Amino acid sequence: MRFQHKIIIFLIFFSCSSQENVNQLNELTTTTQQTQDSNLQDTVTTSTTSSSTTILGCVPQDNSNLNFNDIKTVQEFLNKNGFDAGVEDGYLGQQTVKAIRDFQSFAGLSVDGDIGPNTINKMISWTGCEEQANITSSNNKSVTTTTTLAITDTTTTTSTVPSTTTTTVVSANLNQQSKNYGIVPHISLTSNEVVSLFKGVNVSNDVCGTPYLNSLNPGLLNQFSNGLVSSSLSIVNSNITESNITTEISEESSSQIKIKIVGDGSDKYKFYFISPFSSNISNLTPDFLSTSLDLTEATFNIENLSPGVWFYTFAESGNGTIVKASGNREFSVGTTSAQQVSSHNGIEKFLMTSKNDTGQYKNVTSGQGFSTLNSLNIVYITDSILDNRSDTTEEIKIEDNIIKLSDENQASVSEILLIGTELIKVEAKDGNKFTVERGYLNTEIKSYNSGERVKAIKNLNKENKISGFAYAVFRNETGMRFQVPLGPELTVNEFNLNKCNYDLFSLEKITTFSWRSSGSSTLTSTSVEDKINPLFDKAFVINSDGQTYTPPSLNASDQVSGEFANNGPRNLIVDEGDVVNFNFNGIVDGSSQTHFVKLRFLLQPDSGSSKKSKSREIYLNLENENYNFQLNVEKIVSEGTNLDNTWEDGYKYIFDSIALYDDSTFVTIKNNQTITYDYKSEIGSHQAYYLDQFSFIIKSE
């Protein structure tokens, strides 16, 4: 064992002395000299290897039967093995998170404080006889600091001696890309893993305003599959990967928190949180931002934030890279130190009404006909929020605003009653007589006989609601699907039908998201789905003031001149600063407006290159229904990129397809004379045989 340790020490010494690290040190020195020429001796880079040794003569543990999804079991394991998790109470508090991080560090795992699959597998296989693994580390020090205050649009700079400090007042979203469509980075609400969301056409106040696409790329999720998406997030061209940079809350007080990002010292980061009793991730702008060579620190004043327990989820770099938060991620605002949500299994009621010609709200009957000028109201209720009360003992008429229940204990003032499909709000009571608001939240007012079931929601405050967000999916008979964002349960959601084509629309799926309990990095999501029959018997028909959907198509040649209607580069050699032009004047629009396109290229490596064949996609806004596109090659790099104007060298870019995204779906026109449709399996065709000749070449440097 001594011999092994000597070898490790020698390797550390040799690594620190290598030319590679000398080069790294020179690079760091150059960066520092841009702001200050002193204290270069404080810049240090160290690297170590990772090793683990088992102690001979130790009696190994057997953890194969332990349930490490149970927090108390995790705490017992940690305490048993010398990682202080504190009281074994089943609560994932800061002490337990610290113990998990200590275990991960000891075991040579990624240190994030989460009980993920790798950590659980290591705990299961842990014998208790292991020695600590050495951890790869990098330490850089710098004396240059930039402080950014997001207050006004003016910029000032101040300097002091002996150290240099730059204070900048900046405008929001200074370097945010001007893309409207593409792929958005996110962290899964239910697994705390990095996910990629597709941001396409989105008219959120229309039932048919946001297509729910059937054939997205692998690993890509539809827009509302992870709650609402902040508009401040960058939009890029390919799926997101997680950065190896780390971030966490480093300091916390009753008035402010400080977040640090250890990695690249960028001032472009945006910060995202789950607010108390919420199911969505939203952006907060720091009051102060300081940067150095490898460190970004953001300070947030929290006194004016909504009270409760907040959760820091991730930072985003401004170009789509996600830095997932680990370790200490919770902080409390006000006196609330804990919040626990009740569990639920699904939906108790999905109430859908529409206003009739007399201004009254009526339940939508299955298959009811509508015009695109009509609108729908949707309210949903989860199955765990309702209490059973005694059945009605007397008849309740439509015109009754005072109703009698079995006794005075059946309801309290401000409680919401559910009788049949009607919500009734209690405004006052006198014994067993209750003054009520009928048809609460735009539900249909009905008459009821004695013996009707009565349920109650005690109150509508945010703590008692279980679902903070949901989305519904409607399908039509043509094969298209549409996603409809819903707010918290027991709120009115009104939707237009303007974007709906002539068709039968059926409710296929509803997915709810609970709000997050303190001590947890994830929340619960529940889906109810029926792909054959209308879910909850909710279906309607658009039969007036609409249109029948027809897809776009492609002409190969100009109808008058006979020349090619579509043009692109042919083996064009491209360098930095060049522009590559594509012209698809042969595209014939269908019944719906095309909003954006996706160009896809097959990448063929240079002859003799070690690079592998792959593909690249780029999303482009469609302006004035003009299908002429320019690809700006502003920068050429040696590795793959997400940015529109940056391209990888060493490849021939062969045009593969153009996908057209309209109000309802998308259609892909391919270079092999075929057309595919997201909403049906049928394959169409076109006669533009020459599309596979479109190509450009970026040679290796």
Q: How far apart are CA 16 and CA 529, in angstroms?
A: 58
pLDDT digits over 142-155, tens only? 333 333 333 223 33
Rg (CA), the chain: 30
Query: What is the DSSP secondary structure assignment for residue 565, as one 8-state letter?
Result: S
Model pLDDT, residue 33:
30
pLDDT digits over 567-597, tens only? 999 999 999 999 999 999 999 999 999 999 9
pLDDT digits over 186-237, tens only? 999 999 999 999 999 999 999 999 999 999 999 999 999 999 999 899 999 9
Q: How far apart are CA 563 and CA 557, in angstroms?
A: 5
Q: How far apart are CA 368 and CA 350, in angstroms?
A: 16
Does the structure show a pLDDT above 50 at 158? no
Model pLDDT, residue 684:
97
Cβ contact 417:446 at 8 Å: no
Q: What is the mean predicted confidence (pLDDT) over 501-508?
A: 98
**Of 594, 565, 600, 588, whose CA–CA distance to 688 is shortest?**
565
Does the structure show a pLDDT above 60 at 52? no
Structure tokens, 8: 């490790």
Share of the chain above pLDDT 90, in %: 65
Top-confidence residue, 342 or 289: 289
Model pLDDT, residue 458:
75
**Of 174, 159, 320, 297, whose CA–CA distance to 237 is shortest?**
320
pLDDT digits over 98-143, tens only? 888 888 888 888 777 778 777 888 898 888 887 766 443 333 333 3
Structure tokens, 257: 């928190």
> DSSP states of 40-78 as a string?
GGG-----------BPTT------TT--TTSHHHHHHHH
* HSE, side-chain direction, 13 A CA sphere, residue 333: 17
H-helix or E-strand containing 602?
strand 594-605
SS3 27: helix
Q: Which residues contact 515 (CB under 8 A, 6 or more apart)?
A: 276, 277, 278, 279, 339, 341, 462, 465, 466, 467, 468, 523
Does the structure show a pLDDT above 80 at 8? no
Model pLDDT, residue 160:
30
Structure tokens, 634: 């502003």
Does the structure show a pLDDT above 50 at 667? yes
Q: How many CB atoms lie within 10 A of CB 363?
A: 17
Top-confidence residue, 57 or 40: 57
Helices (H), 412-478: none
pLDDT digits over 403-446, tens only? 999 999 999 999 999 999 999 999 999 999 999 999 999 999 99
